[in-house]
Amino acid sequence: MRKFIFLILLLLTACGTSNSEPVMLISDTPIPPSTPLPASTALPAATSIPPSTPLPASTALPAPTAIPKQKIFPDDYSDNPYDPSIIGILDKNTTISNIFGDNNRDYVGFTVKENFFVESITLIDYYGQDKIAFFAIQKNDKFTAEDDITKMLSYGHFGPDSTFNKVGQNILYYSKNMDSDREKVILNSGDYVMRIQQGNSENASYEFQLIIKAQK
């Protein structure tokens, strides 16, 4: 009991001391200064878009190739030397043209009007695998000369492979034989028959132009 009373007295003595030093409170821990944010990073300048590349000018299409006009031929000429196809009385330029070949013979008759004459017969066009053909002209209303050149006014080969009578040339010449000199002839007024033949090609064609002039 004595020990208990002694402890109480001791505690009271300690609490009553006036000159006891004050207890220091721990000051607040200072907040560290705020860390400044880094300066904003400048965005790179916008990359400029290169100017658009101009499209090349449109290439002009080539002009379409004209399709050659198809020739229109008259009905097939007669193959009878005694009954030739008659194309009329001539007093102006005239064309003789047709399809021939495969040893087909055309016989064409015409009359040169009085006071006119045929100055030339020009080969205007020729088509065929065989580049050479034969013609003969007799002054008559029938072709009776057969193969006798002494009864012909003019004869010879014609076509691209002929020696003389190529496209664009006058065929109105006569020679005593195929190797002799040729003499130019004209067809005065009267009746004539022209024989035209091609021995090999099928569907070959020819075109002649007769130049008609008036007698002076």
Residue 12's pLDDT is 46
The pTM score is: 0.66
Residue 203's pLDDT is 78
Place of tokens 């004595």: 2
Q: Could you give the domains of the chain?
A: 85-214 (2.60.120.290)
Residue 207's pLDDT is 96
Residue 102's pLDDT is 75
Average pLDDT across each block of 10 residues of the chain; the chain has 216 residues. List them in order.
Answer: 52 47 52 63 64 69 55 80 95 93 89 96 94 96 95 95 94 84 94 92 89 94
Secondary structure of 60-128 as H, E, C letters: CCCCCCCCCCCCCCCCCCECCCCCCEEEEEECCCEEEEEEECCCEEEEEEEEECCCEEEEEEEEEEEEC
Give the closest residue to 183 by CA, choosing from 141, 216, 153.
153
CA-to-CA distance for 36 and 107, rounded, in angstroms?
119
Kindly list the distances between the CA atom of residue 188 and the CA atoms of 54, 90, 111, 116, in Å, as whole numbers in the listed order. 73, 11, 10, 7
